[in-house]
Amino acid sequence: MPTRRLNDLTGSEWKFWSRSVITKPYPRDLQHALRGEHGGQKPPRLCEDLIRVFTHAGEKVLDPLAGVGGTLLGAALAGRTALGIERTARWVEIYREVCRREGLEAFECRISDAKDELTRLPQASFQMVLTDLPYWNMDTLAKTRGRRAAKSRLSAFGDSAFETKEAWVEEMRLILLGAARALQERRYMAVFVGDLYRGNEYHQLGAAIAVALAGTDMVLKANLIWYDVSKSLHVYGYPAAFVPSLTHQNILVFRKEPQA
């Protein structure tokens, strides 16, 4: 029985994308300023690249936390279809306006709570899940790098309802497992999750999510590091303490394995 190909990449393209650190610069295009109202947007062309790695042309991608539609835009650029779920109507409005201005197909993006909406999707109906997790407690914690507590630009992106990191991890676990239910076996889920430095402590949120999914049918296969070359460097703790200037994001890659 011949091995089924994962994607449509050539051998040289496959080799390029097998590297564990993504340093490719991505332009601030596709109405970047408009999408920037969200604060946590990801480059649609990075999403396009990831979608090309894990799918074939014409296959369908799910994003249960769609935001302003980076995944959906990436799917359109890659020649795939997609479905988004997003509870904030404003972000869906921005996504649709970007599609209108750019002349791209606007895929369905349901305005709903992800945990509820995911239960309505048919099982094994998508060939990839690509999503970007909101930060834990981004807005309610005082910023370590400043003298005063300040509200983040991600005020509508983070969710201050999570009083503890454990509560945030559990909510993300439930959403990701709900999305995994709609994913076909032996297909991939890629999850953007940034680590966080707050309260004089470095929080490895990517590792926390990986541990939360351990023992399920979603098996961790890689932690790709996206080095965001557009990020500015800031010296936060100088000269008394070392505080990292975070210029990277984790992209956790899980594969849905058949259960015995």
Rounded to whole angstroms, the Cα distance separating 186 from 257 reads: 5
- For residue 137, what pLDDT is reported? 61
Grouping H, G, I as helix, E, B as strand and the rest as coil, residue 177 is: helix
- For residue 56, what pLDDT is reported? 98
Q: Cα dihedral sign for 219, 201, 114, 75?
A: negative
Q: Which residue type sits at 5?
A: R
Q: Does domain 24-256 have CATH number 3.20.20.100?
A: no
Q: pLDDT tens per residue, the chain (260 residues)?
A: 567 899 999 999 999 999 999 999 999 999 999 999 998 899 999 999 999 999 999 999 999 999 999 999 999 999 999 999 999 999 999 999 999 999 999 999 999 999 999 999 999 999 999 999 998 764 444 443 343 333 333 433 344 466 789 999 999 999 999 999 999 999 999 999 999 988 889 999 999 999 999 999 999 999 999 999 888 888 888 899 999 999 999 999 999 999 87
For the chain, domain boundaries: 24-256
| Short-list 175, 144, 172, 156, CA closest to 241 | 144
CA torsion, points 60, 180, 5, 51, in degrees to nearest 10?
A: 50
Contact 20, 223 (CB under 8 A): yes
Rounded to whole angstroms, the Cα distance separating 66 from 110 reads: 9
